[in-house]
Amino acid sequence: MDSAALLNRVDELPRLPKAISELLDAVNDDNATVKSIATKVAHDPLISARVLRLANCAHYGRSREVGTIDEAVVRLGMQTLRTLVLASAVIGAVPKCEGIDLAQFWGQTFEIALYSQEMAKRCGAMPEEAFTCGILHRIGDLLIAAVSPEDAAKIAEAVAQGKDKHEFERELLGYDSPDIGALLAKNWKFTAALVEGILYQDHPKDSDPFSKLAALLCLSYKVLDEWDTIEDDEKTSWLSQLATKKGLRMEMGGLRTKLTELRGSGFEIGKALA
């Protein structure tokens, strides 16, 4: 399938259902109360179930299991509830695709989102926006797999052979998955900052104005892939140098410890959602 045909089929994808769209509007309303959001969440059994599973993950949970949305609200607080409702809504809206290990897919997605969120606190970016961008940044992969599974299989085979994923996508399709993911995010009416973060995730310095969200995604993948290969006493300087190269001025105090603590949390969340 050529790139024009693939892009044309964006309009065939399921749009965010009205109920989910209204829920996201409520979640993002600064005047919304915890109670009003809890009530709206409770009206959607699938999102309620996902939010409860997320609330009971070790990353968010405590010793006692949460059994109701109201309890989840009390435990998590407004900001965390907002991000989990968003994540649950997006997961429910994207199509299921054969050939994709959803536990692995969402695990890696949440891992990147958590790293981005933590580092955003230290470079002047908005942590919740960085988390959201992390959740959305791979939706282009799902779009390709849903619309053209044959092309998705070719891409997976090329990656297994050591080829650069996005470079191969451009050769095959004329576009890469970040291009298509950004288009879908725009179609779903996410903010321009989030769209730009997805679009420039591989090359943040090409963004104008500069996208901190894209730089955080790029840096988060370095942490995901290389963190365990770096000596503990070298991690801070390694990360500081990388952040500077990506265009970020980052406060490094305590970051090494926090990122080490986060390792694996995203994969646990992905497993709970699969």
DSSP string of 198-234, one letter each residue:
HHTSS-GGG-SS--HHHHHHHHHHHHHHHGGGS-GGG
Dihedral (CA of 95, 27, 80, 133) sign? positive
pLDDT tens track, the chain, 274 positions: 555 655 666 666 656 667 677 777 777 777 877 778 778 888 888 888 888 887 888 777 666 788 888 788 777 777 777 777 777 777 777 767 777 888 899 899 999 999 999 999 999 999 989 998 999 999 899 888 888 889 999 999 999 999 999 999 999 988 899 998 898 888 777 889 999 999 999 999 999 999 999 999 999 999 999 999 999 999 999 999 999 999 999 999 999 999 999 999 999 888 877 6
**Two tokens at 22?**
């209204």
Is the backbone peptide bond immediately before 204 cis, with ω within 30 degrees of 0? no
User: What is the pTM (predicted TM-score) of this model?
Assistant: 0.87
Domains of the chain: 3-273 (1.10.3210.10)
